Structures are given as C-alpha cells and as structure tokens.
Amino acid sequence: MRYRTSLFIKAVLLCFLLSACNGSGDPIESLFDRIDQANHAYMEESGQQGGQTVTGDTDEPLRGVWISYLEISKLAGSAEGVFHAQAAAMMQRVKEKGGNAVFVQVRPFGDAIYPSEVYPWSKTISGSAGTGLPYDPLAVLLEQAHAQGLAFHAWINPYRLMSSTDFSKVDASFRTAAWYQGDARSTYMYEVDGIWWLKPANDEAQALIADGVRELLSHYALDGIHLDDYFYAASPESLGETTVSAKANNTKLIKTLYDLTKELRPDALFGVSPAGGFRKDSTLPVSDTGTLSTDLALWCTKEGYLDYVMPQIYWDETHEIQPFTMTLQKWRAFVTEPSVRLYIGLASYRFDAATIQEQSQAAIEEADGYCLYRYDYI
C-alpha cells in the first residue's frame, strides 16, 4: 500500500504558509510543530493513524538494505533540494537492486536525523551536534522509500550516546545533555573509548529510549523499529551489576519497545539484529554469553518480545569457527517461537557478489529473508 505523499506535501506547505503569516519564532523549534500539524491533516484526510505504511506481503521474503549513518553523513548539511534528490536516487537504487525494505539509521549516537523533542539533532545529518536543519530529512527519506514501494524501518542505537566534544555543543534542555552536565552523570551514563553510553539499569534512561520510540511511531508512518547489536558496551560487573540483572534490564527494554510498537502501530514490526556468532559447541549465541548481555534465548522462544531476529552472519564457508551454513543452521534451530521471523544479516561490504548471491539465496530458502550491510556495497 503506497504512502500518499501528495496530500502530505500540500499539508506541509499549508503549515509553512500559516507559520509565515503568523510570524512564528525560531524556525528550528517550530518546524517540529509544523510537521506534526501536517501529519495530523494527512491523518484526518486519509483516515489513517500517522499515514499509510508499506508493510507488504508478510509471506514475501525480506530483501533489505541497511542505510547507516556512514551513508547519511555524506549528505550532512545538504540543502533540501539536494537531499531530496539524493534520497530519491538511493531508494530507486535499492528498488532496482531487488530490495523491498530499508533499515535507516535515524538515531546513531543518542541523537536524531529529524526534529525531535527528545533527542538533539545529529551531526551526521547537519554537520554539527545539536545544530538543526530547516527541513525534516527523515520525512524525505520515508517519502522516497514509500514512493518506491519499500518498507521503511527506523534503526536506532538505544544506549549509545555521543562524545564529550559533541555533548558540549548540545543544549541542556535535552535530558542526555542535562545528565552529562550534571553532578549525577555517573548515575545515567558511562564512558567507553571516548563515547558515552546510557546505563540500562537506570529507569530514567529506559524511559528516555521509550519516549524516543514513541515520538517516532507517533509522527511517522514507519513500517518498523529496528535495534542493532549494541547493548552493554562494558561488562555488567564493571557497572555494579550481574549477568542476571543485565539480561533483565535488556529484556525490560525489549518488552517495552515491542509493546509500544504494537500499541501505536499494530502492523509495524519490531526486531533486533544481534551479533551473529554461534559456536558449534554452544546452545546459546555469543550475544547471550558475553558482555552484550542479551537474552535471545527468551526473546526468540516466547511470544511478545520480537517480530523478527536478524543475526549478522558475516562469514563465508571458509571460516574455521563460524562457517556460514553451520551458523545459519544453528540460528534456524534456535528460533522456535512461530511468531518470530528469522532474517539473516549479510556482509556485502566483505564478500564478492557471487558469495552474497549464494548466501542471500540460502537466507531465503532456510530463513525468511536477508538484509545487506550496507547501502554503499549493493
């Protein structure tokens, strides 16, 4: 079902004209309100909550592409017309390559590539942390994806934040900046290799992540919310926790975001793309047994946590520990909940076209589809 962009664009233009006539204040702050008004106008006319998504045939195998902040940062600071043209070209290319979905990194470092009341603007889209643009890049990307019939999944890094240098540029009206600048910083975050991370055990941190997802689902016609493999960046013990408590914290977040997705957009998908390692002699994936502290053994075997899991199987048949077919078979046997689909993340940046073709075919035959990392390598 196509996203009807013409009415949305008309509504946006109307809101801009009304704003200009009323002499509104700061253009960056008011942009979010204008987009919200346009979305509501579109919803009322179309009879849809937040616009129409492109969920497609649920039985059709996934043929996805990750569009990371590395691709998006090449467009940082672009004029709206330039960004619109580049976004259109990107989505057209994905379609021409046989793709049916994109997973776009909208929150790479505790920030946003769209006007947000929860997170500051991302330097990957504007060129400088906390500095905004006079248009909404996410709305443009979403519009162009749906114009090509591509499902659009918003990819977020829930816990990862930014560097101290970038935090110094962000206004303290944002919670993360206030926490960073405050005396209780260590209550909310910790630093690893120059990057700050939210503490999963902190209830306010978990609420912040949920608020960010709620904002996305409420304002954009998304086809899904997508998390990647970054969970704990340091051992639970170094943070005063245990493995048991760390798994419980991650499970709390997963359950919250799954329930939120189903509440606000019942047809949208919620999923995780964990590290793909799964040793031959183990009954658990490495993501469950190491620092990351996931509980995929629960999420993939019980209903109500995930719609899909997308392990990153970034090896070929020559790998001594994780040969591709063996690893895929381990994951296939591991995912036992019927409602959880198994998609396979493939490393198009690492292998030649022939290898990726073989692996993608295997992912369709043995699982429910695949996703290529990343756009620059399709």
CA proximity to 348, closest of 60, 55, 63: 63
- pLDDT tens for each residue of the chain, 378 residues long: 333 333 333 343 334 333 433 433 433 334 434 434 444 443 344 333 345 666 545 689 999 999 999 999 999 999 999 999 999 999 999 999 999 999 999 999 999 999 999 999 999 999 999 999 999 999 999 999 999 999 999 999 999 999 999 999 999 999 999 999 999 999 999 999 999 999 999 999 999 999 999 999 999 999 999 999 999 999 999 999 999 999 999 999 999 999 999 999 999 999 999 999 999 999 999 999 999 999 999 999 999 999 999 999 999 999 999 999 999 999 999 999 999 999 999 999 999 999 999 999 999 999 999 999 999 999
The span from the CA of 147 to the CA of 140, in Å, is 10
The span from the CA of 22 to the CA of 113, in Å, is 27
How many helical (H) and strand (E) elements, i.e. helices and strands, does the chain have? Answer: 15, 11
Tokens 């592409």: give the residue.
65
Q: Which domains does the chain have, with CATH numbers?
A: 1-52 (no CATH), 62-377 (3.20.20.80)
DSSP string across 237-251: GGGT--HHHHHHHHH
Q: What type of residue is 56?
A: G
The span from the CA of 80 to the CA of 100, in Å, is 25
Within 8 A by CB and 6+ apart from 73, the residues are 123, 124, 125
If you ran DSSP here, which 8-state letter would residue 162 be given? -
